Amino acid sequence: MKRALVSVSDKTGLVDFVRGLQSLDWEIIATGGTQKLLEESGIRTIGISEVTGFPEICDGRVKTLHPKVHGGLLARRDNPDHLKALKDNGIGFIDLVCVNLYPFRQTIEKEGVTMEDAIEHIDIGGPSMLRSAAKNWNDVTVVCNPEDYGRVLDEIREHGNTLRQTRLELSAKAYTHTAEYDICIAGYMRAQAGLNEKLFLEYDLAQGLRYGENPHQDAKFYRSSKPVPYSLAWAQQLGGKELSYNNIQDANAALSIVREFSEPFAVGLKHMNPCGSGVGKDILEAWKRAYEGDKTSIFGGIVAFNREVTLEVAELLKPIFLEIVMAPSFAPDALELLKTKKNLRLLVIDMSSDIPSDTKSFAYVNGGLLLQNQDLTTCALSAGQCVTEAKPTEEQMKDLEFTWKIVKHVKSNAIVVGKGGMTYGVGAGQMNRVGSAEIALKQAAATLAEETGKDPETAAREAGLVLASDAFFPFDDCVTLAAKYGVRAIVQPGGSIRDEDSIKKCNELGISMLFTGERHFKH
């Protein structure tokens, strides 16, 4: 008669699984709470102490760490010496182990958990049995996930035992289960001890991707072990094709911008840079401003909102070729309309809470990994940050605040030009700052010329634009260029050894300038 050893914390589906084994003439060995549940369900079991001849001791800390357990698991059935050792010591085979582990992760995530509580939820016997059974997978079936119960029972019914390939797969799953468990424990204990020279990462496969940035690159998408806000990995897709590698990168960049704003906000994005963004009294006004900021670049882009997409907004989105629309929700009639575009990806994103302040970002380099805290803080602007004779108006302060939040998310060197709650020009990723400024200002002038019917520079000068820079001005050339296009207020971090040159130029030209003391490089 074959024997199964059962000892689980997660008892989902257990009774039916064990009843199925018993109906196939398997003998059931069980421990503690598992045995109690099975006996109460009318399933005959053998207690672990009956097998070992030794009582459970130390409050249950020691019960399965015994040769009659591990000998029965580890002995090779094709090795005469192993068989003789079992016979000489009165040890019987154990043919199947069904084990999952004490809920350590759930324990340490509880508010107010003590280290003593955490340690008591470190499983010792469970991982040992899993590893023993998994090592001897050729002879022993090891099950640690209730999702595999049905497959195991079906194969035993049909073949008298699980298939060899199944046992190999289940062995790999068991080692994965114990590895994840040990990583969680090691991470917790190292944090308690103040050790940081090791980094453990744990992500699960969310989906395979057709390819990476280019068709010749293989790619996969992994997600964190638990949901987080503003996350593509945990988004609900309501329509459209599967996301691509580049879609995910771009959409993540858009969500990083969205989380900056509490008022109704919309952003269009291409190649991880915003091409138009706007705030408004409602989401419709925000979208109109975002779209007017750059009607050309949004073609084939991604759009993100921090409010529900209404039918009025959907009607404006429908004629535009877009890859993705993201929002915390879609009104039913808006969803119905947008779903008529069969390839348009519609994603519902959790925006109900903020990203934890200690969230890390990672960047792989050849032979290494860079880690840093995510750039989640954006300092509020105030009149006290003004370093020039000219002072910004109340309206200009609002525009500076808006552009300052946007420029943080533009590839360095970054310049953003805006007014009236919308971006008019974005200069990204240039090798010198004045080059980025020139791109942003020319784009702003062109957009304003289209609005007013005037020549670009005149339209820009009359608009009274503001300008934001992600890092300091090394020279006064950006100020000179900004004045040419009628910029009336500037916000930048400051910190250059030539800050006084820029301040002096602003004073000459009647431009107000704020120093934030906070840089936002984005490489």
The residues that are catalytic are: 135, 271
Residues in the chain: 523
Kindly give, in sequence order, each residue whose CB lies less than 8 Å from that of residue 119, ignoring residues fewer than 6 positions away. Answer: none
Q: Residue 497 in 3-state DSSP?
A: coil
Contact between 136 and 74 (Cβ < 8 Å): yes
Sheet holding 141-143, edge to edge: 46-47, 27-30, 3-7, 96-99, 141-143
Contact between 157 and 191 (Cβ < 8 Å): no
Task: Please provide residue 92's backbone torsions phi and psi, each rounded to the nearest 5 degrees.
Answer: -100, 155
Residue of 85, 96, 103, 193 lying closest to 136 (CA atoms): 96
Dist. CA 137–CA 132, nearest whole Å:
9
Kindly list the distances between the CA atom of residue 413 and the CA atoms of 252, 254, 474, 520, in Å, as whole numbers in the listed order.
20, 18, 12, 10
Dist. CA 266–CA 260, nearest whole Å:
11
Dist. CA 416–CA 405, nearest whole Å:
10
For residue 234, the one-letter residue type is W
Half-sphere exposure of 340 (CA within 13 A, CB side): 11
Dist. CA 164–CA 145, nearest whole Å:
18
DSSP letter assigned to residue 498: T
Q: How far is CA 446 from the centre of its chain?
A: 38
